[in-house]
Amino acid sequence: MTETPLTPNPALTNWTEPLGLPEFAAITDEDYKHAFDAALAAHRAEIDAIAAQTAMPSFDNTILALERAGEALSRVSALFWLKAGTDTNPAIQTLEREIAPAMSRHFSAVAMNAALFARVDALWQSRKEQDWTVEQARVVERTWKGFVRAGAALGADDQKRLAAIGERLAELGACFGQNVLADESSWALILEAEADLAGLPPFLRDAMAAAAKARGHEGKHAVTLSRSIVVPFLTLSERRDLREQAWRAWTARGENGGETDNRAIIAETLSLRAERARLLGHDSFAALKLDDTMAKTPQAVNDLLGTVWEKALSAAAAEEMELQAVAASAGLNHDIAGWDWRFLAEQLKAQKHAFSEGELKPYLKLERVAEAAFDVAGRLFGLTFIPRPDVAGWLPDVKVFEVREKDGALKGVFLADYFARPSKRSGAWMSALQGQHAIDGGRIPIIYNVMNFGGGDPALLSLDDARTLFHEFGHALHGLLSDVTYPSVAGTAVSRDFVELPSQLYEHWLTTPQVLSAHARHHETGEAMPQALVDKVLAARNFNAGFDTVEFTASALIDMAYHARADAPNDPAAFEAAELQRLALPAAIPMRHRSPHFQHVFAGEGYAAGYYSYMWSEVLDADAFQAFEEAGDPFDPATAEKLRRHVYASGGSLDPEAAYIAFRGRLPTPDAMLRKRGLA
């Protein structure tokens, strides 16, 4: 990197563009390190000042002061992790490996500041005597628990070891994610002959041609490990030999030997997590992570997963028999392999439901699906999304929208980065450049979605892609509709097994008749999707449900098996294989995320011992949508108002159980979820 300037680039912390956005074009890669140094120093000074106060601890001089502290660090961090996730390069990756452990070291020092914790602890111990609001009490509770979980109550030697563990884990997580990206971006299967494209429809050929051109192979076609290309290729390609090559590369990410192999990282990560749990007085890392969730215990998680697993295995076995019959009818007598399942399932779907993914895609143009997501937000919550092409995002194809309430008030800003690129982390996610709060005049939320759709012209989505867009937009609404006072409980700052409720629930509206009839229109003719095709899509909603449920649940079970142990397995790869054998995972169905590329769990700790939360939240979302069905209208105003107030707007200001009961009047059972998946 070039030498950093003596003073930080003000563009990183002083956001002066329209809608309160930063001037992205004014920020260079070389600016980040010095900006982090300055922001970390400023935050340390703020923390020291709070801790050094002689006045008795109060909510305002301690908790509120902590809520205010670190604004510059928040802004620099938000911009850096945005860059690292969506448009990385070697310089950013080098800095990421430095910044991740430095941030861990910094926040460990904050948590282990004895004078500061004494003030927080004094407030926690006196909580029954305080006249706090419900939200204030929740903020104090979460603050105190955060300090304790970070080691504030440990002795000096244990604190030192805990800080070292946190620093090393942050470094390992950064390396894990970079290794997966390296494997994904470096592999491509270049196809030159027309015979190599057998079975591939125009939309996929266009996306593969664009991918080949981007890799210097203009006039050819490339299979890449972007999900928007590899999954439809595995589904539609008639070339079994090419499907096998693609499938093996896709499932071997992070496990190819050499510098990008993640197996040693997994082993060290699991060992350090188990050690940290012991230091903090827990039987396992899972027990530590689940202590502040709805599930509470590993046993509760395994009870849910186990119930679903047995039903899913039974459904998948029946599906495999049907696929074997499809293969036999085509004169194929080999056992079904992982690279066969999606292809044969597509043939079976065409037989049973008389439509294919290729027939559906022309009606799911990216722009129309995004408009559908906006339309649902308008119908449910009164929001309007106004395009702002005059406002620049971080790259030219990033779209910016101002979000307004029904009365015209500015509610927030939404940015969308939809297309795959080699410099972007795989998957799809929501994050915030700025969270909502109401202190010191308040801040509107600035929320963004990131996807990895193929860049065809036009960009046509699969039904799964469309669901992904709705899912991540549900997360975005969780951030945009946040209506709390304090930053630490705003938006998605909720327990891990509650955070997927707003996103998974939002997926339900994609296939409502009102949305399909209005927005599922042919990209060339503009004609609405024929009702016969709509009916087929809805009838096939649970097609291949056994496969889908098995591949997800296998990943959740392995995640929990790794982390519910007192000690880490000596050989995680052998442990994974043995667990999958014990679970009787069908040979033709891989885990959705095998351990060497399981970024939810190993590229950071967000979903470690928490991947189950998608299914836990699915229990909630199936029951929540049932409330609209009981009202007789998927856009019932009274139900939508309760949903907004108690789920989307309340953030972490309420206990998640209390929030759900406020909306629904009771807690759910898994019944609605099992019916939704066709497993009841």
Residues designated as active site: 472
Burial degree of 336 (CB within 10 A; 0-12, 13-18, 19+): buried
* Distance of alpha carbon 538 from alpha carbon 22, whole angstroms: 43
Q: At 287, is the secondary structure helix, strand, or coil?
A: helix
Q: At 369, is the secondary structure helix, strand, or coil?
A: helix
Comparing CA positions, the residue from 333, 319, 353, 369 lying closest to residue 588 is 319
* Distance of alpha carbon 393 from alpha carbon 191, whole angstroms: 34
Q: Which amino acid is at 60?
A: D
* Distance of alpha carbon 625 from alpha carbon 623, whole angstroms: 6
Token pair, residue 388, equals 């702002």
**What would the 3-class secondary structure string for 559-589 be?**
HHHHHCCCCCCCCHHHHHHHHHHHHCCCCCC
Contacts of 120 by beta carbon, 8 Å cutoff, 6+ apart: 57, 62, 63, 140, 143, 144, 147, 152
Comparing CA positions, the residue from 458, 431, 483 lying closest to residue 650 is 483
Q: Which amino acid is at 249?
A: A
Number of H helices, E strands in the chain: 28, 7
Comparing CA positions, the residue from 403, 404, 412, 406 lying closest to residue 382 is 406
Comparing CA positions, the residue from 481, 469, 472 lying closest to residue 515 is 469
By the 8 A CB rule, do 583 and 626 touch?
A: no
By the 8 A CB rule, do 179 and 262 touch?
A: yes
* Distance of alpha carbon 36 from alpha carbon 15, whole angstroms: 16
Cis peptide before 458 (omega within 30 of 0): yes
Strands (E), 263-349: none
Contacts of 219 by beta carbon, 8 Å cutoff, 6+ apart: 209, 212
* DSSP secondary structure of 35-85: HHHHHHHHHHHHHHHHHT--SPP-IIIIIIHHHHTTHHHHHHHHHHHHHHH
